[in-house]
């Protein structure tokens, strides 16, 4: 394999990894948001398009924020939404 072929293979592998990362909805997370500002929340479990669990809160002004899934507020939201599914 020549140098050019190696570069093409490396670029292809990097591109595949980047598209997997870009499919996650959350790029940056915060630990908490004021509860009175939350209108709705969604939890996305890890899957083929994103290997991370994501917790997204929709504020009353329609802003969407990502919570750290390991944080206390996100854990409370996950527990509440799972209880509603039962």
Give one DSSP letter per residue of 47-81, joined into a string: -SS-SS-EEEEEETTS-EEEEPTTSHHHHHHHHHH
Whole-prediction pTM value? Answer: 0.71
Indicate which CATH number applies to the domain containing 31: 2.40.50.40
18: domain range? 3-85
Number of structural domains found in the chain: 1
- What does the radius of gyration of the chain's CA atoms come to, in whole angstroms? 18
Q: What is the pLDDT of residue 23?
A: 85
In whole angstroms, how far apart are CA 66 and each of 11, 13, 45, 57, 78? Answer: 30, 28, 13, 6, 13
Question: pLDDT digit string (tens) for 14-69?
Answer: 445 554 445 899 999 999 999 999 999 999 999 999 999 999 999 999 999 999 99
């Amino acid at each position: 394999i020549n140098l050019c072929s190696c570069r093409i293979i490396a670029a292809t592998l990097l591109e595949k990894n980047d598209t997997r990362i870009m499919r996650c909805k959350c790029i940056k997370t915060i630990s908490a948001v004021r509860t009175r500002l939350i209108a709705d929340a969604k939890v996305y479990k890890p899957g083929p398009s994103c290997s991370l669990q994501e917790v997204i809160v929709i504020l009353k002004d329609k802003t969407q924020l990502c919570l750290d899934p390991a944080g206390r507020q996100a854990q409370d939201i996950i527990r509440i939404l799972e209880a509603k599914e039962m």
